[in-house]
Structure 1
């Protein structure tokens, strides 16, 4: 039986990637509209993950780095100031919950321990959870630097009966589903219309505990179905 259900936060509970894409478009326009800057920025982000981690602040620094490289060091101070302003705006942006989130989390919390397992900047993730109005529904929150099988094994042991009796729900196959499956948990993928290239991976269709749903409202049925699966 499932004792603990973990939820990713960004693009699972609330919108996130949309705001990155909008800021990215403004950044490219700021530097003259060269579409090739998109790939250069994404490469800088991936290259810098080990230094800055996930989140808005690392994104801001990667935009500045890309602007310096693209202009061969000639980027104007006013452009750097605009990039910083865009980043601060992202850090202040209101939270927009995705459909069915509050209802589903509230319902599942009646019979299971529900937790958030998210990566990113600590202050920003705490802000978003507080503004979401969902904080009191969760039994625990794990804000981590990355998501690995070990991350999930520790979290599910701390908040439940271990990974074997846990389920992880999220929009990223690479971060939310595959490492959770490797830890021994169930992995439920909810595709989002926008997914950062870093988070893309092939679906683990041969994994017996892998499930795909199109809307969070379908999750309670998946949880209930695990009872039959384990009989």
Structure 2
């Protein structure tokens, strides 16, 4: 059965390539560095609170995460953290920015097939420069007809991008909060691909009763699933 979908919006981080896993690894190293001041679990809560406070200042991405780690280190140590620890935190952030891209299973095979059939639009949020660099490094840029790097994913984000074609559009992503719910509310279909790790600020309830909500185990399943929509 031919798909009714003509336009496919696709998320980037943790949909096309690994992302949150690297944040988790750095958080564990951060906890080791600050172990003299606070145990890991409460430290992670302090860091998450700092990230929440700073979203409006720094937006999403590694640079804001790095600055939130610096702020947290100063706070939990009562400004006693040594300069070399701050230096190491900055270096960790720099290493994250230069970390090689690792495509998720099925992306390299399925994305070219999708590009032959649908208009592909990359819709991702985060630091503009870093997202552009990751897309270039991934080698996937030529498969997309359009690229949107946005500060937030909300209903009006998808309404503007899909426009009058929203009923023939579907959004593919790992975040229920950012990729799925607002796309559905805008009138598009949505395909959720659960990631191995989920950032606490992206947690949301699955809209399982919505008639245009679908799930795929991996990216490769999207190709077949679209024929059912």
TM-score (norm 1): 0.94
Verify the 8 A CA contact 1:165 1:185 in the aligned structure 2. yes
Counterparts of residues 1-231 of structure 1 (less than 5 Å): 1-32=4-35, 34-35=39-40, 36-157=42-163, 162-226=165-229
What CA deviation, in whole Å up to 9, does each residue of 1:73-108 have, x standing for no partner?
Answer: 112111111100000000000000001102211101
1:48 Cα deviation from its structure 2 partner: 0.9
Verify the 8 A CA contact 1:190 1:213 in the aligned structure 2. yes
| 1:110 counterpart SS class | helix
Verify the 8 A CA contact 1:105 1:114 in the aligned structure 2. no
Verify the 8 A CA contact 1:44 1:66 in the aligned structure 2. yes
Following superposition, which runs of at least 4 residues in structure 1 exceed 2 angstroms of deviation?
A: none
1:29 Cα deviation from its structure 2 partner: 0.5
Unaligned runs of 5+ in 1: 227-231
Between the aligned partners of 2:167 and 2:134, the Cα distance in structure 1 is: 29
Verify the 8 A CA contact 1:5 1:113 in the aligned structure 2. yes
Calculate the aligned-residue CA RMSD, in Å: 1.0
Corresponding residue pairs, total: 223
Between the aligned partners of 2:24 and 2:203, the Cα distance in structure 1 is: 16
What CA deviation, in whole Å up to 9, does each residue of 1:174-204 have, x standing for no partner?
Answer: 0000000000001110001100010011100
